[in-house]
Structure 1
Amino acid sequence: MKPTAPDPAQLADLFPLSDETPISYRPIIVWAINDRTDPEKSRSQLDGFAACGYGGVMIMPWGGLPNEFMDDAWLDAVSCILEHAATLGLEIWIWDDWIFGSGSAGGTLTENPAYRAKGLQKAIDLIIEAGEVLDIPVPPRTIAAATFDVDKFGCPITRAVPQKNESGDMIRFEAKVRSRLVVVCWQYISGFVHSIRSHCRFLDPAISAEDCNIFINDDRNAWSVDMLNPEATQGFLDRIHERYRARLSSHFGVTLKGFFYDEPKVSTTRPWTTDFAARFQANMGYDITDLLPEIEIEYLMDSGDHGQWLRPEAVQRARADYYDVWTSLMAESFYQPIHQWCSRYGVIATGHQLGDNSLEEMKYGGGVFFKNLSHSDLPGVDTITGQIKPGLFDDSPRYAGSIANSLGKSRAMSESFAVYGHGVTPDQMRYVCVQQILRGVNTFFVKLSNYNREQALHFHPPELSNANPMIKHYGPMFCEMISRVTRLLNGGRPDRAVALYVPLDNLYNTDLTFAAPTDEIARQLTYNQVDYDYVWDGDITGMAAAADGITAAGGRTYTHLLVPPEAIMSDAIRGQIDTLDRDRGVVQHVQADTLRDLICALRESDSFLNVVSEDVPVAMRRRTAESGETICLFLNESATAESLTLRLVRQARVHEIALDSGQMTCCAQGTAGTSLTIDFQRAQSKLLFFEPVDTLDADSDKPDAAAPQQITDWTLKLPDGDAVTIAGEFPDWQDLGYGSYTGFMSYTADFELTEDAAACTLTIGELCYAAAIHVDGQKIADTVFSPFAAELGSLDAGRHTLEIKVLNTLANAVLGDP
């Protein structure tokens, strides 16, 4: 086989983009402005971001910023940043509030109580025994009051009898049997609101770490905003977005690409707003007011709340309808107006909600992910604190990729690496990003870099600027790799896919029994290399039957729609699903004992590659060119080595594209029916190019590989100039007295070749954590991604000197000796 391959530059022509969103595929660095800005310093840091390979910068007001909220000095600083970024070709994005969650306009909006979040409260919940008489005033802000006959547990045995509910009235009730009075009011509520004021505490060395806990250190003067009130959202837009537009409109859609919201929330699963009852009736066709006491009451017995089974069917339906309506109102009142404003002025609306890491989390105060992010140009998720790692199946990035696919959007994003720590490495970043690319994410906001790096180095790491030696030296390789892979995986024609239904009615009914089997279906699809998207009721409503399956509103075609066990569906959704199926077998109601046969059928119908292996924890994503060439990205998501066997359906030559350099090397070839086994080290990713060919190269063209040579007798040069001879295992830097040192150390050894070598490969094995490779005093390559190997090129026979300059992470310098 000839060791030649197509020119990598030709791949862009083979896989053209249909990308209508003109934004970079390079990562975007989140820039925490935590001090007063200086034009020269701002320009210098922007130069550093460009040198590190970033495609853009997101400006984020952060703890330590001394400016008044959205003052002229702040807008001057942003204008200066935009002007210099334009000269560097850097995109600028703006974090849309003064920390998080988005919506309160730095706390200024909720100074007006009308815009504060509101929630339902049982102001009175009282058992009245038979013969007792109750006289009680109606509390302020009462919405509904009712009495019930109850059993010994206090559970209702009759439907509610409405009582007076006007504030100031008296409720007079004489119990003939054991009864219960429930009065439902609304109250102002708030969750944590983090602002630049509260985050300044992290910069004060006199305050203990316990008092600076991010989960309790909120701004006590700022309230959560009413996410169900479109007037509150307009106030938010007026205070922030319109202020930017008035000053910076010439940059909109040019250098300033968009606005980013972060973790909007209602801070309760029982939100309310002033006109909720009227909007509920407009949506559902009935009045929910008198049903609220029945909705709010709990059916408690020895083992807990049994309301799901004991609550009357009409009340349970109303309870589910309430959840459906408030989550719809959140999407329509907050996300939709922001999306519309951004569209009107030529910028992109993006960000992520609270509760986007699992299906179970969607029942909490962030609303329903699929409803909210449908009102987004760039649907997104958040990955924090080591959430994605080998050996753990985490499919949450696919939520964002699924919305983009089903609605025909070309991009989906992730905010990545928040609180990953100063020990983060390019290889770890590679794993986290590739894991998400395989699930449809192709835009990365990486967090973060501090403006004043000295005063905030210990808070919210990692520091991903050139102040971090790992990023300074190897950030460009990481950014180029991300750009290359995401661009290729967003070009050409997508793979065949199935749709996996997420039954929102389960969430509305607080029935999460669907989540575990849905996750298991997702895991088996992923690890049997079947592409799929999550779809929800809104997608189902917009689907149409097609000759080869069903088509979503955005044009994506699915061969099958999979309905998980325990799915609860409304009559309307069930009817639409039946219409889509028409007895064609397109809709599959999956059970544990039928999933295996279904997956086998899905895999065997492939037109180019058949996967032979079963249940291998290797994720795969691919794109196909019009002329038949195929790009496949693989990731071993296991913590151990794995092998995956494929079978070629057509005659082809296979080339591996190096993640670090982009160079292609021919690694296999075969006729139709040929099996190809791909070996993966722990957490390794591979990018393969399958090239259909009419003829194969002769086996005789393949050169014989020389026996591997083990290089021994190393010398380690220490930072103080001393040298250490290494006879056995490589010592830990901590044991050498350099536990608090961050930087390069050089390992040198000689080796000898008995004959000329046309191509030499250096395999390092375990590396902590990146290295520059030199041969005979000349730099040959850098290696930062596992399996940590480097092509040394041709070497003459004789003695050579190999030097490996190893770089560790910033964690050593920050944390010091243990």
Structure 2
Amino acid sequence: MEQIRTGTDTDHRGLFENPTAAFRPSAYWFWHSIPTEEVCHAQLSDFKLKGIGTILIQARLAMPRDDYLSPAYLEAYRTAAGIAARLGLKLGIYDDYNWISGHAGGRTVAGRDELRERHLFWSSSEKAQGEISGIHPPFTRTMGADIVEWQYEGSVFEWCEWTVEAALLHSSAAIGSLDEVIDVTARTSIVDSDHAACAYAFDGTIEDGQMLTVFVSARSTTSRLINYLLPEAAEQFVAVGLDPLIDVLGDLVPDPVSFVFYDQPAAGFYKWDQISGSLGNSLLFAPSLIDAVASGTGEPFAKSLLALLRDVGPTTLQLRAGFYAAYSGLMNEAFSGTLRRWAESKGIELTGHEILPHISAWSLNGGFTSIDPRVALAVDFFGIDAYRHQTAVDSNNFVAQLAPKIGDSVARSNGRSRCVVETYASAERTPVRAAGQWELTLETMRAQAIRLYCLGTRQFLWHGVYQTDGRDHDPTPFANPRFDFGPGINFEPWWSYHDLFAQETARISAFIEPATPRAPVAILYPLQTAYAEGPRHSHATHIGAWCEGLLAKRCDFMFVSEADLIKARIDGGRMLVSGLAFDAVILPSASVLQAAETVQALNAFSAAGGMVVSSGDRLSTVRDAAVHSDAIVSKHIDRMPGGSDIEALLEALPSFGPVIAGRSGEFPWQWVGQDADGWWRIVLFNDGETPMVSEITFGDGFDCEIWSAATGTTERMAAFNRLTVTLEPQEVRCLRLRQTTDRVVGEGYLTTQPPLDRARSVSLVEGWTFAPEGSASFAPISVESGWETQGFAEFSGTGIYRLALEIGDEAEWFLELPDVATVVAARLDGRQVDRLGWRPYRFSLGRLQPGIHSLELRVANTAANRYYADTPYVGDTVDKSGLSAAPKLIPLIH
């Protein structure tokens, strides 16, 4: 995107001061009905004012499906895009109704039944007859009746065209090789079927000690989801779902509408009564899969299928890896390839994200644990990303997690960098995940955004801003917009402070953009192991342990593919690939590799002095060759890596660039990278509750610049041989360093804490009055407990605190608020002093004369107490609101 490429020019300071839309927060704009022109103008103007740079219109379940892509919908879409253009907002096409790209609100399969999802089911028994029955999508069904109705016509799961695709006779005990397996597909047939089940029969005899495994395909008659193995399904999706949008947008493409965004393309994750074996869900099926698998495995399709379920001898892991590689490649090309070619034909870019089984976790499959990701676009992240023009990933809730690191890694492998991170909130106080987190605070979301930037994010994508806040007294998830993965952040009482978040975080992203990250450790993404061993294998948890362990010590890392290792250049004991330099490569319980060249590359790196560390399972199989060598490993850890293993690795790594040391056991979040001109960029962030102190050294001395993300200004400091940086809770610092031989001034100190005379502090406990905004009835209130405990339990909004403030001595005074829920603006004598959205809540009141001054604090809480009231989602307690500790008045030390 041009708006991103702007970040690579020489005007880094200008980009930092005024970041382009590529670095500003973006958001899904949830349409719950077709909006009027007035609504479009009012909301888009508001989004622009609050600092959002890019909007993606998304029709949600509350909108009647028939309205989606109707003439009225398309007219409103064009109107909204035109308004956005005039406001200077960027737009992206969110490509479907609700989510799960490809169905176009059901239009893709309307009149084209052959495009509906078709799956392979199987049954193993010692009998010549059997059945496939009880098919259901548990992942979908757990989300409720409205989701089922959206995905399935009539809310029923029905099937047709039952076909035996493979039938195999084999030992009921161990299988020594595929030669022992007998293909009896031609002798097995469907003998009875209806919309819910089928019966099959084999016309031969099953001997003692034998078992029959039958694979049956069936096409859904009711699912609106498509068969992602069929390019014609993607072509029809384009014709009925995307072309109408492009056509109506006309000259608004490619500016401001410059990209299309897909979201979690995935067919149903079905289970059934007879499911067994190593594969946890049904497989999509199309006739093209037969030849693709035979070519990828070198074995007949039917026998390769059996290897997915059980051990078939020494080639089992190779067969599985080859099968899933063929399956994924076919799906990638059929769906993603079709979308990319269409996007390029329209002059726009393709982005979006696949299913991420690691959502909200560090373990590779620690998120969606109920699915087997091998049946979806959900394992070959490097291959999937090769079809995108820009990388996007998914992130759940407000904790550090794997997704952005994977996103940045695959982007760099494919010649780009960094990623968009869609962030959504699922409820934590209730099992109904869609009820969201209306208790979200601005401080929480800001902290998450900064962590995401440190992990490889360029742009924060909100899920989302809402057209409406839904209906009272209706706890229905999804259908009531209020509980469709809330919060709709523009209906939060703190929304008017969002511009503070947007401006600061955009500058942090723009500050990071020109530099190459210092990531001395490469973690091999064990794709072939993931294919062959499945999601419950130890590679998943070993990845999580390495990631968390390295980050705890603030050592950055990237994931690399086998292709990256093969093409890497080795120089001075370092591995150079994708613009990065690695001193160590980690193999996280990687039991299967694809290429002998990977082994050769790792051996060459090790021989040149690089470190190759493995943990868990050792390499046992290389798909394309009968080779195996322990020599590639410098060190093997036969268990889950722990803190001592991380420390041993880091001690062995050479030092490169600035050194950041903590004075305590806790370290601030950090990002370190180097500009092309040799300057280093450092981001430090304290997401804790107490101050943190770090010491920076760099050779014998270094120049230092401070880049203020809050103001966009830059300041050149003196040269130091040591810089001590004190970070208050929630404080972030952007620094630029360059080693120097000039005379230095010794040690420097960097802090935002003013020198306050705390011995003379005054606790402002008494005399406060309070009223909700809009009310003229002020009444006394305690500032030592929140307003939710003082008669306003269900009030969400802005509460106004007032105090006649008596100043005894002329001085420079500061006001500190020890506990605020959640944002606050201070006014003194009718003049706004400042507004703050996160800690530290400290206001500089200026030099005050003795006498009585009027102090007003306008505090906004979250929407939780209002929106969760009288619903099953309220929880055991109400959310804190307002002031819950007495403000302090503190003079500056003279």
Q: If the length of structure 2 is used for normalisation, what is the TM-score?
A: 0.75
Q: Which of residues 680, 683, 688 in structure 2 aligns to 1:633? A: 683
Structure 2 residue 579 is the aligned partner of structure 1 residue 578: no
Residue type of the alignment partner of 1:476: D
Q: Secondary structure at the match of 1:177?
A: coil
What is the deviation of 1:801? 5.3
Measure, in 2, the Cα distance between the counterparts of 1:118 and 1:483: 44
Measure, in 1, the Cα distance between the counterparts of 2:463 and 2:604: 43
Deviates more, 1:323-332 or 1:138-147: 138-147
Residue type of the alignment partner of 2:48: A
Contact residue 725 and residue 749 of structure 2 kept, 8 A? no
Residue type of the alignment partner of 1:351: G
Root-mean-square deviation (Å) = 3.7
Structure 2 residue 505 is the aligned partner of structure 1 residue 486: no
Measure, in 2, the Cα distance between the counterparts of 1:524 and 1:814: 39
Q: Name the % identity.
A: 18
- Where does residue 734 of structure 2 map in the other structure? 687
Change (3 A) 1:623 1:12: farther
Measure, in 1, the Cα distance between the counterparts of 2:256 and 2:333: 29
Measure, in 2, the Cα distance between the counterparts of 1:732 and 1:468: 18
Contact residue 826 and residue 858 of structure 2 kept, 8 A? yes
Alignment of 1:499-514 (within 5 A): 499-511=522-534, 512-514=537-539
Contact residue 280 and residue 325 of structure 1 kept, 8 A? yes
Alignment of 1:370-769 (within 5 A): 370-384=382-396, 386=397, 388-389=398-399, 394-419=401-426, 420-455=436-471, 456=480, 458-464=482-488, 466-471=490-495, 473-511=496-534, 512-547=537-572, 549-552=574-577, 554-572=578-596, 574-578=598-602, 581=605, 583-590=607-614, 591=637, 592=641, 594-602=645-653, 605-611=655-661, 616=666, 618-626=668-676, 628-636=678-686, 643-652=693-702, 659-662=709-712, 671-672=720-721, 674=722, 676=724, 678-679=726-727, 681=729, 685-690=732-737, 694=742, 705-708=755-758, 709-714=760-765, 715-719=768-772, 720-723=775-778, 730-741=784-795, 742-748=797-803, 750=805, 752=807, 754=809, 756-757=811-812, 761-769=814-822
Structure 2 residue 42 is the aligned partner of structure 1 residue 37: no
Measure, in 1, the Cα distance between the counterparts of 2:131 and 2:298: 31
- Where does residue 169 of structure 2 map in the other structure? 147
Unaligned residue ranges in structure 2 (runs of 5+):
1-8, 133-160, 191-200, 270-280, 427-435, 472-479, 615-636, 871-877, 879-894
Change (3 A) 1:704 1:575: closer
What is the deviation of 1:597? 2.4
Deviates more, 1:223-232 or 1:278-287: 278-287
Measure, in 2, the Cα distance between the counterparts of 1:816 and 1:118: 44
- Where does residue 349 of structure 1 map in the other structure? 350
Partner deviation per Cα, 1:276-335 (whole Å, 9 max, x = no partner): 01112333444332332x32545xxxxxxxx5xxx4122342123212221222222222
Measure, in 2, the Cα distance between the counterparts of 1:650 and 1:791: 38
- Where does residue 205 of structure 1 map in the other structure? none
Deviates more, 1:539-548 or 1:408-417: 539-548
Measure, in 2, the Cα distance between the counterparts of 1:164 and 1:626: 62
Contact residue 528 and residue 616 of structure 1 kept, 8 A? no
Structure 2 residue 109 is the aligned partner of structure 1 residue 110: yes
Contact residue 148 and residue 156 of structure 1 kept, 8 A? no
Q: Which of residues 48, 51, 76 in structure 1 aligns to 2:49? A: 51
Residue type of the alignment partner of 2:320: R
Contact residue 104 and residue 241 of structure 2 kept, 8 A? yes
- Where does residue 214 of structure 1 map in the other structure? none
Measure, in 2, the Cα distance between the counterparts of 1:188 and 1:154: 31
Q: Secondary structure at the match of 1:224?
A: coil
Alignment of 1:119-134 (within 5 A): 119-123=119-123, 125-128=124-127
Change (3 A) 1:146 1:463: closer
Residue type of the alignment partner of 1:740: E
Contact residue 438 and residue 864 of structure 2 kept, 8 A? yes
Partner deviation per Cα, 1:621-654 (whole Å, 9 max, x = no partner): 1344455544322334567765544434353466
Change (3 A) 1:105 1:461: closer
Q: Relative contact order, CA 8 A, sep 6+: which one is greater?
A: 1
What is the deviation of 1:101? 0.8
Residue type of the alignment partner of 2:724: L
What is the deviation of 1:706? 4.4
- Where does residue 804 of structure 1 map in the other structure? 857
Measure, in 1, the Cα distance between the counterparts of 2:807 and 2:571: 65
- Where does residue 868 of structure 2 map in the other structure? 815
Structure 2 residue 246 is the aligned partner of structure 1 residue 245: yes
Measure, in 2, the Cα distance between the counterparts of 1:142 and 1:527: 52
What is the deviation of 1:396? 2.4
Change (3 A) 1:566 1:424: same
Q: If the length of structure 1 is used for normalisation, what is the TM-score?
A: 0.82
Partner deviation per Cα, 1:6-50 (whole Å, 9 max, x = no partner): xxxxx98456879xx984321112111111321222122211211
Q: Secondary structure at the match of 1:259?
A: strand
Q: Secondary structure at the match of 1:717?
A: strand
Measure, in 2, the Cα distance between the counterparts of 1:351 and 1:332: 16
Measure, in 2, the Cα distance between the counterparts of 1:700 and 1:677: 8
Residue type of the alignment partner of 2:785: P
Residue type of the alignment partner of 1:382: D
Structure 2 residue 229 is the aligned partner of structure 1 residue 179: no
What is the deviation of 1:102? 0.7
Measure, in 1, the Cα distance between the counterparts of 2:332 and 2:744: 55
- Where does residue 364 of structure 2 map in the other structure? 359
